[in-house]
Amino acid sequence: MPAIGRVLQFHYMGREDIFWENPRFAGKAPEPKSKEWANFGGDKSWPSPQADWLKMVGRDWPPPAGFDAVAFQTQVENGAVELVSPVDASYGIRVRRKVQLDPAAPRMEIVTSYEKASGTWVKLGIGVITQARDPQRLFMVLPRKSQFPRGYILLQFSPPVDIQVRDGLVSLKRGTETSSQIGSDADTLLWMDEKYVLRIDSPRVPVAEYADQDTNTTIFTSANPQAYVELETFGPLTLMKPGDRIERKNTYTLLERTEQDPEAEAGKAAKIPLNFSDSAR
């Protein structure tokens, strides 16, 4: 939705929503000067690391307005929709998000790019935050040899609810009483309810520098009353000067569940090869 700079929904036609939308902000416009975060939901991009926001913007929360609280322009080319932000005053960055649906499969590709348009050198990475509704379980699909002894690390808030690590998967539930955020070196994140699986792929770049204790994927779970989760992917940190451009591709695949056991379903979903249609590029 260009008016709020987000991809607000992705689901099977005529079926249940997958992304989380906040009914409190339905029909409202973002307010760039607001000191409170307008949490619309959907899929958006923020610069990483978040620890630099205070230095760059003068506040550590809410997110930089040019990334999160402005309307984007829209253009359509060869079946793809491109969302284009104004230049964020604090970072001197323009955000472009090219959204493409696969015509032959329930799959979406979003290429997010940052263009350094003005200001001094800045070191940052592309973050993509996907808010989804309350799941049955969440999964990180670990590489063959994770650099983290437990497969994940706790980044902030409380430890996750019912977290398990086995068969190459980190598995957890959303806690209702406390929030949690964990990070990993996984390339793939899975959201799952009783009917569907959402798979998000964003491969880690080898031998690159990442923020937040060298994690490139994180999962955040929100406590009640806002029953949502965030599946977050990050690109490597890059030193940018005016004229530079970086980009990051996320692939979103929807699957219908065929296994009653969540772990069995996750193992099956994790093994499906990515074949984004050439006609969709």
- Residue 126 domain flag: yes
Are 70 and 94 in contact, with CB atoms under 8 Å apart? no
Average pLDDT of 214-243? 98
pTM, 2 dp: 0.95
Res. 274 pLDDT band, cuts 50 70 90: low
Res. 149 pLDDT band, cuts 50 70 90: very high
Alpha helices (H) in the chain, listed in sequence order: 53-57, 65-68, 211-214, 262-270
Longest dimension (CA), the chain: 53
- In CATH, what number is assigned to the domain containing residue 92? 2.70.98
Encode pLDDT of 26-55 as tens digits: 889 999 989 899 999 999 999 999 999 999
Res. 275 pLDDT band, cuts 50 70 90: low
- Residue 279 domain flag: no
State how far Cα 221 lies from the chain centre.
13
Please state the domain count of the chain: 1
- Residue 281 domain flag: no
- Residue 227 domain flag: yes
Using CA atoms, how far apart are residues 43 and 240, in angstroms rounded to an integer? 24
- Residue 128 domain flag: yes
The residues near 93 (Cβ < 8 Å, ≥ 6 apart) are 47, 66, 67, 87, 114, 115, 116, 117, 122, 124, 240
CA–CA distance from 164 to each of 60, 148, 180 (Å)? 32, 14, 15
- Residue 221 domain flag: yes
Give me the domain span that covers residue 201.
Answer: 2-273
Closest CA to 135 of 178, 190, 191: 191
Are 169 and 224 in contact, with CB atoms under 8 Å apart? no
Encode pLDDT of 76-87 as tens digits: 988 899 999 999
- The pLDDT > 90 percentage for the chain reads 91
Looking at residue 188, what is its pLDDT? 98
- Residue 280 domain flag: no
- Residue 278 domain flag: no
